[in-house]
Amino acid sequence: MQLSKSEEQLMQYLWKLDRAFMKDLLDAYPEPKPATTTVATLLKRMIDKGYVDYKLFGKSREYFPLVKKKAYFSKHVNTLIKTFFNDSASQFASFFTQETDLSKEELEALKQIIDKEIEKK
d(CA 85, CA 104): 24
pTM for this entry: 0.77
Asked if 18 and 66 touch (Cβ cutoff 8 Å), the reply is no
Residues 76 and 52 placed together within one structural domain of the fold: no
Residues 76 and 114 placed together within one structural domain of the fold: yes
Residue ending a domain, choose from 50, 65, 80: 65
Q: Is the pLDDT of residue 2 over 90?
A: no
Q: Is the pLDDT of residue 56 over 80?
A: yes
Q: Is the pLDDT of residue 64 over 90?
A: yes
Domain hosting 56: range is: 5-65
CATH of the domain at 53: 1.10.10.10
What is the pLDDT at residue 28?
Answer: 97
- For residue range 71-106, what is the model confidence (pLDDT) as tens digits? 999 988 888 899 999 999 889 888 888 888 889 999
Residues 50 and 74 placed together within one structural domain of the fold: no
Residues 44 and 84 placed together within one structural domain of the fold: no
Q: Across all residues in the chain, what is the average pLDDT?
A: 93
Confidence band for 1, pLDDT divided at 50, 70 and 90: confident
d(CA 13, CA 66): 14
Torsion sign over Cα 116, 89, 1, 17: positive
Residues 42 and 76 placed together within one structural domain of the fold: no
